[in-house]
Amino acid sequence: MASAHHISFLNSVQLTNENLRELLFDAATGDPVASNFDAVNPGNVVAVTATQTLSSKSIDHILVGNCVGCTLNVTLQISPDGVNWTDCTLANGDTCQVDCSLTAGDCQASIIDVPLLQYVRIKVLPSATGTDKICTVNLHFTLN
């Protein structure tokens, strides 16, 4: 029997630089972002969340972002081995991403219509930081 599950990449996180420095990693090195990392002006740093492992039985994936008081762009990345990463691409060629913004609404979802690899993470790019800016990003799926 199928059952619903999710992975939380960000769970009601206040988008302050201090909080993001504790949660994000430099995609190039795998190390935590530097203590002076500025999420809005990251320079050449691509900030990603910790790697999550998907069950091989997961199907029907949906990437969901909920944001309050801010805008946030997240892109789902996939890897067969947890080392070599690529942006997830939908069947139509678009990137698997959600863009939460005040103009687009506080909640956005992207139905992932392609199979995912075992390892997943998200690239994170907020447009502003502050204690009044709170975001949650989850990957929902069914275990078959």
Distance CA 12, CA 71 (A): 14
The CATH architecture assigned to 3-143 reads Sandwich (2.60)
Q: pTM, whole model, 2 decimals? A: 0.90
What is the domain partition of the chain in residue ranges?
Answer: 3-143
User: pLDDT value at position 106?
Assistant: 67
Query: Which DSSP helix (H) or strand (E) runs through 23?
Result: helix 17-23
Query: pLDDT for 96-128, tens place per residue?
Result: 999 887 655 567 899 999 999 999 999 988 777
Q: Using an 8 Å Cβ cutoff, are 50 and 25 in contact?
A: yes
- Tell me: pLDDT of 138 over 90: yes
Query: pLDDT for 43-56, tens place per residue?
Result: 888 899 999 999 99
3-state secondary structure of 90: coil
Q: Using an 8 Å Cβ cutoff, are 131 and 12 in contact?
A: no
Q: Using an 8 Å Cβ cutoff, are 120 and 139 in contact?
A: yes
Distance CA 110, CA 80 (A): 21
Cα dihedral sign, 32-34-38-40: negative
